[in-house]
Structure 1
Amino acid sequence: MDTHDTTGALEEALERLHASGPERLGRLTNHAPMVVEALATRGRADAVHRWLDLYRHKLEDLPGTVAPVTDADWREALGDPRRAADWIRYFGRALGEQPWRDVLAAWWPRLLPGMYGGSTHPVIRVGHAVRALETDENAPRLAELAHGLGYWAARHRPVAGITALPAAPSAARSLDAVPPVPDARGGFPDRLAAVRGLPRWADDVTDPDTARERLAELVRAATHRYATHGHGEPTMLVHAATAPNAVLRTLGSLPKELWAPSLHAAWTASAAVTAMYAPAEPVTHGAAPRRTAQEVLERALAHGDEHVVKLTDTALDVGDERALAAALRAVELSDPLVPN
């Protein structure tokens, strides 16, 4: 179902969006670059600008610069959201001077420990940007990678002090074993700070190919789980699947020695989101009428919510009936995108 977009719609949309910042109201992520890439990849480039017109009221101008980020002082700017525009310019320069895979390989291990900042949206944006570049390398797509990496660097947030708990053999059972945060309240940063222990699933994996297999298993398990647990928080629980899938999409453009560390970081992120937002009890999700992947995509597009579209995009990667049911569940649970 993946389609190489030759219409130029994605490039036009990205050029529109690169005048906008990665967030609005100082904390809410700009999802538009991720959604338009997903639509173009899934053969709906014709819908890109129409969807973007509906979403434009959620965009803010790119913030101003503070001071240039340099190779000598980048550590001081890491994790400073005020420096988003500085970081975007830094990566724009780097990508103009070096092959994009070299820039990605150099910065991936530096950014990976902080993938929890921005509610995991920065790594998701990078995953979409990498997928676009793997099919066609051009200026708007390179600029999108600069925006994604810059957002990640500005929102870089490591986690520490999490106790390692026993894990089950499978990703699905280990997600079941994640202890929920007691009396969870507040936004993502407050809930993340309250995570105290997570199972150590797949922590012994060092072989790159095994790491890739385990990561695919995690994406499948987290996507399936949304159908029965998404009611705990329909928007935020999407990220338990989309964040590890962004990492999975990026592996092929990274050196193999980075695959196992990527698995471990993705597991921690998915498990942490599960701990923060999972409901007390699952629901029994009855069998829905069978729909094709294209029909599910059309339902998501008609609904329009950015998280619904992105979860559907991940569900199409997984590709099985349970994953498609999870995407339809997101349609049921989420508020549709409407014009302002």
Structure 2
Amino acid sequence: MLEEAYERLHRTGPEFEGWLSNHGPMAVESMVRRGRARDVHRWLDAYMDRLEELPSGTWTITDGGWREALGDGRRLGDWLSFFETELKRQPWRAVLETWWPRLLPGIAAGATHGVIRTGHAVRELLSHEDEMRLAELGQALGYWAARWQTVAATATPSGTADPAGALAGVPRVPDQNQGINHRLAQLAGTAGWEGSLAALRPAADAEQARERLAELANAATLRYLAHAHGNPVMLVHSATAPTAVLRTLPALPTSLWGPSLAAAWAASAAVIAAYGPAEPAPREDLPAAPEREEAFDRAVRHGDEHAIKFADTALDVYDRTGDPDALAAVIRAVDSIAPL
């Protein structure tokens, strides 16, 4: 079922209507992974009318000239062609090991959808390698490279706070209006931003970096329950971005786990700064937790791609922590996001 879905989706581009991200591959991977394969084609039938054709390349990106094309959205088709070729020429783990440290500083690409799509693709390849899954990784990496965008972050984790405490200390940008680029551009001048980045307790080794990433995904998911009203769609990415990085770690050398934590932390904090509300919602206004399986079923019935991806992340969090607020957060997303 997933191969069939990828075949349909790979005729479409990573974006539509300007900068909107094609969530199809991420949502269907989550649905198949969570036992809802029977709903994939029905969901795609409703979703694909919004999508646009796969862009074609214009100029070849070379090994020596990739830097000048990084972050150039006009070269999207060129980047897709580049990674299609690279993944035919080398093993996918070798391509990922080369390009992960090059792309990681631009983790904000496509409102973090570049790294999120990569995380979904890698999760599949770690389970099973085939032509369609390799093609999906190529499209994910190509999209990330074309929309490569940094987060203003000169400070790295050096404090004593756990991820929940560190996220609580992230300041809001002064002007929470307009799109994500306008909001991220304010980070460097936002009082307390660099200090909040430094507040996170650093990891002493690779295994601690993996543990801290899991804690960050947990904290962002649980935080969503009371803070989703800031922007129920965009705040999903504060949890799904670090989750994508966490899922990619097993395919990477352990030497890259520490930098991966730092980048994921900066991305999650940036989303909170850009879209977090001034105050949490009162506890009495929050939904109750459903049963585990019901949480994902509710997201699929709702149909929104963000709700589906968030539910996939929330189930990981619930399985790690046993905290029912992770499941309640899914219902908050379903109740807050307009259905497909």
TM-score, length-scaled by structure 1: 0.93
1:209-254 deviations in Å (ceiling 9; x for gaps): 0000100000000000000001100000000000000000000110
Equivalent residue for 1:284? 282
1:95-148 deviations in Å (ceiling 9; x for gaps): 112111111011000000001121000000000000111111100100000000
Q: Give the counterpart letter for 1:271 in structure 2.
A: A
In 1: Cα distance, 2:89 partner to 2:204 partner: 33
Distance change (3 Å), C-alpha of 1:278 and 1:101: same
In 2: Cα distance, 1:76 partner to 1:10 partner: 35
In 2: Cα distance, 1:165 partner to 1:139 partner: 39
The equivalent position to 2:242 in structure 1, one of 244, 252, 265, is: 244
Greater Cα shift, 59-68 or 111-120: 59-68
Distance change (3 Å), C-alpha of 1:133 and 1:219: same
In 2: Cα distance, 1:87 partner to 1:164 partner: 30
Distance change (3 Å), C-alpha of 1:233 and 1:166: farther
The equivalent position to 1:189 in structure 2, one of 151, 169, 181, is: 181
In 1: Cα distance, 2:46 partner to 2:108 partner: 28
Shift of 1:166: 8.4
The equivalent position to 2:170 in structure 1, one of 175, 178, 185, is: 178
In 2: Cα distance, 1:164 partner to 1:205 partner: 11
In 2: Cα distance, 1:32 partner to 1:112 partner: 23
In 2: Cα distance, 1:159 partner to 1:123 partner: 14
Equivalent residue for 2:218? 220
Residue 107 of structure 1 pairs with residue 99 of structure 2: yes
Equivalent residue for 2:312? 313
Shift of 1:206: 4.2
1:265-304 deviations in Å (ceiling 9; x for gaps): 0000000100000001001234744422211111000000
Equivalent residue for 1:36? 28
> Does the 8 Å CA contact 1:202/1:264 hold for their aligned counterparts?
no
In 2: Cα distance, 1:240 partner to 1:276 partner: 10
> Does the 8 Å CA contact 2:234/2:271 hold for their aligned counterparts?
yes
How many residue pairs match? The answer is 329
The equivalent position to 1:146 in structure 2, one of 132, 138, 143, is: 138
- The DSSP-based 3-state class of the residue aligned with 1:26 is coil
1:61-106 deviations in Å (ceiling 9; x for gaps): 1122121111121111111111111111111111112111111011
- The DSSP-based 3-state class of the residue aligned with 1:72 is coil
Q: Give the counterpart letter for 1:326 in structure 2.
A: A
Structure 1 stretches lacking a partner, 5+ long: 1-8
The equivalent position to 2:261 in structure 1, one of 260, 263, 282, is: 263
Distance change (3 Å), C-alpha of 1:166 and 1:104: closer
In 2: Cα distance, 1:160 partner to 1:182 partner: 15
Structure-to-structure mapping, 1:1-340, within 5 angstroms = 9-160=1-152, 169-196=161-188, 197-198=193-194, 199=196, 200-202=198-200, 204-286=202-284, 288-319=287-318, 320=322, 321-337=324-340
> Does the 8 Å CA contact 1:203/1:264 hold for their aligned counterparts?
no
> Does the 8 Å CA contact 1:296/1:327 hold for their aligned counterparts?
yes
In 2: Cα distance, 1:235 partner to 1:255 partner: 32
In 2: Cα distance, 1:78 partner to 1:18 partner: 22
In 2: Cα distance, 1:167 partner to 1:209 partner: 18
> Does the 8 Å CA contact 2:217/2:243 hold for their aligned counterparts?
yes
Structure 2 stretches lacking a partner, 5+ long: none
> Does the 8 Å CA contact 1:66/1:82 hold for their aligned counterparts?
no
TM-score, length-scaled by structure 2: 0.93
Distance change (3 Å), C-alpha of 1:207 and 1:51: same
Q: Give the counterpart letter for 2:236 in structure 1.
A: V
> Does the 8 Å CA contact 1:22/1:62 hold for their aligned counterparts?
yes
In 2: Cα distance, 1:130 partner to 1:273 partner: 23
Coordinate RMSD, CA, aligned: 1.6
Percent of matched pairs sharing the same residue: 54
